[in-house]
Structure 1
Amino acid sequence: MTAEQIEKMLEEMEIPFKYHHFTQKEMQDVSLPILVWIVPGTDNFFADGQTYHKIKELDIELYTDEKDWALEEKLEGILDKYGIPWQQTASEWLETEKMWESLYEMEV
């Protein structure tokens, strides 16, 4: 899955999103909820001494003012629609940031 395909998929959430982070200046003009997505690495498949199939690790972080079950279900439905197996690996209040984070991890 290319960066363009990932962003096209995330557009269906109808909330602001960025790769890696929003700057402090951008956050002054953007209100929650937001999405951040990153590709922290790869988990490629090798055969015959070469990369046979490229697999990107994809993390999608959903940030909200409070736990938003409906928005999480919307994201999960979009991932399911695109046939992406996912795992929610964190769902916690970030005290220092005063926001809720729901982290989804997958491979594409």
Structure 2
Amino acid sequence: MDDILAMLRELKLPFAYDHFAEGEAPEPPFICYLVPGSNNFAADGRVYFKINEYHIELYTDEKSPALESSLEAVLDNHGIFYNKSETWIESEKLYEVLYTFEMEV
């Protein structure tokens, strides 16, 4: 987890695990990150390698290719293979760009 926090600090954006407390969310852009599961590798009926799944959610009020490129550069510099998806959240009037990846614990 320390590696993820160090990477997020490089972006110099506000971030929180899963969500900001109600009423405490900063103005966009900001990031939420979470560890929704694992994809551990088994050997001899035991966990041989622990692998966590990570989500980094970038929230912006307008499309920001430059900011996405900055986040992707940080992930690339740390050798992380990621997948990316995007959605518009109508109720919040925010874009969410989701980066998903796995890392060994």
Q: TM-score, normalised by structure 1?
A: 0.92
User: Do residues 8 (structure 1) and 6 (structure 2) align?
Assistant: yes
2:89 is matched with: 94
In the alignment, the residues of structure 2 paired with residue 4 and residue 36 of structure 1 have an alpha-carbon distance, to the nearest angstrom, of 15
User: Do residues 42 (structure 1) and 42 (structure 2) align?
Assistant: no
In the alignment, the residues of structure 1 paired with residue 64 and residue 20 of structure 2 have an alpha-carbon distance, to the nearest angstrom, of 20
In the TM superposition, residue 23 of structure 1 has moved relative to its aligned partner by: 1.4
**SS in structure 2 of the partner of residue 83 of structure 1:** coil
In the TM superposition, residue 86 of structure 1 has moved relative to its aligned partner by: 0.2
List alignment gaps of at least 5 residues for structure 2. none
1:25-58 C-alpha deviation (Å, 9 max, x unpaired) = 212xx11100000000000000111111000000
Q: TM-score, normalised by structure 2?
A: 0.94
1:103 is matched with: 98
- CA RMSD of the aligned region, Å? 0.8
Q: Matched residues, percent identical?
A: 47
1:51 is matched with: 47
List alignment gaps of at least 5 residues for structure 1. none
User: Do residues 67 (structure 1) and 36 (structure 2) align?
Assistant: no
**SS in structure 2 of the partner of residue 22 of structure 1:** coil
In the TM superposition, residue 103 of structure 1 has moved relative to its aligned partner by: 0.5
Structure 1 runs (4+) greater than 6 angstroms displaced: none
